[in-house]
Amino acid sequence: MAKAAADLAISQPAVSRAIADMERTLGVRLLDRGRHGIEPTHFGSALLKRGTTIFDELTQGLQELEFLANPTVGQLRIGSSESMAAGLLPAVIDRFTRRHPGIRLDVAQTVLGTFDYRELRERKIDLLLGWTPANFSAEDLVVEPLLSDPRVVVAGKQSKWVRFSRLDLADLADELWILPPPDTFPGAAVAELFRAGGLDMPCTPLTTLSIHLCCRLAATGRFITLLPGSIVQFGGRDLYLKTLPIKLPRTSMVSTAIVTLRDRTLSPAATIFIECVREVSRSIVARSRARPK
């Protein structure tokens, strides 16, 4: 109660009276008060969930009015997987901020290993950019596929393997690999990739979802890892990484998508940002098709 009063800049008795008035009006108890503090009842939890939606829609409405009054300003909260932040997203942000310098972007890193989309469903972010499993769908989400990002096998530029003109996964069976944890979507996809090639999983002294850690360790030349191709395309030179000449099956591709809440009105800033994401994605697809096979 004291924290709520401080956040609202009112007295603690005023908060207590407001809750008591709500309980009388609704005819149900909203809070349980005990020795261990205060926690919402199931009635209170349900009201809290709906209240979050109501206040979010109100905030979105106010932001839309502000944007209509001045289309050069605004704010957008973006969730991004680490792979997107290391690949596609910087190119999108560079283009977007050149066109709309008055719109502030808040980017939060999200972990998509289990795909619960908690931040999006709790309306802490406006949209999410990341990879999704093939044919992924959820009733409350809108998933817009952008491009199929092929996984590539990479090593540091000091690795002995970068001198080869042709390799197979079997050639690297005894190397030290950095791979995603097996109980995550990326980890399961990688395991299937090795099974499809008739191979056992390689030695993995480290499993992680951290793209940054994979890149830094692979750059030493001691480790091999798998990355979405866009990461190497946009930052491979700066990361001191090189793609190894290993042809992987099309099933190894990662589906990159924009994910939004189905029943949530997108702000004007979100709409123009999404269009910018589409533009950059289309340019990547066009360059890929123009590249000699």
pLDDT at 104: 92
Sequence ranges of the chain with CATH classification 1.10.10.10: 2-40
127 and 276 in contact (C-beta within 8 Å)?
no
Tokens coding 24: 């009388």
pTM for the structure as a whole: 0.69
| H or E segment to which residue 19 belongs | helix 12-26
Domain 59-149+254-290, CATH 3.10.310.30 — does that match? no
Structure tokens at 22: 């709500």
- For 100, 131, 162, 231, 287, the CA distances from 88, given in Å and listed in that order, are 18, 11, 25, 7, 14
Residue 289 pLDDT: 67
Q: What is the mean pLDDT of each run of 10 residues along the chain (293 residues)?
A: 72 83 86 80 82 75 73 85 86 94 91 73 90 78 87 93 93 93 86 88 90 92 91 74 89 83 87 94 76 57
Residue 217, helix vs strand vs coil: helix
Which pair of structure tokens corresponds to residue 222?
């001691």
* Topology adopted by domain 2-40: Arc Repressor Mutant, subunit A (1.10.10)
Strand 223-228 versus strand 176-179 pairing type: parallel
DSSP, res 81: -
Residue 112, burial from CB neighbour count under 10 angstroms (0-12, 13-18, 19+): buried
Cα–Cα distance list, 231 to 211, 228, 252 (Å): 9, 6, 15
Are 223 and 160 spatial neighbours (Cβ–Cβ below 8 Å)? no
The domain at 151-252 falls in which architecture?
3-Layer(aba) Sandwich (3.40)
Q: Give the whole-angstrom CA distance, residue 112 versus residue 249.
A: 23
Judge contact between 127 and 274, C-beta under 8 A.
Answer: yes
Q: Where in the chain is CATH 3.40.190.10?
A: 59-149+254-290, 151-252
Query: Alpha helix locations (H) across 86-244?
Result: 88-99, 118-121, 185-196, 211-218, 229-239
Helix (H) or strand (E) holding 268: helix 268-290
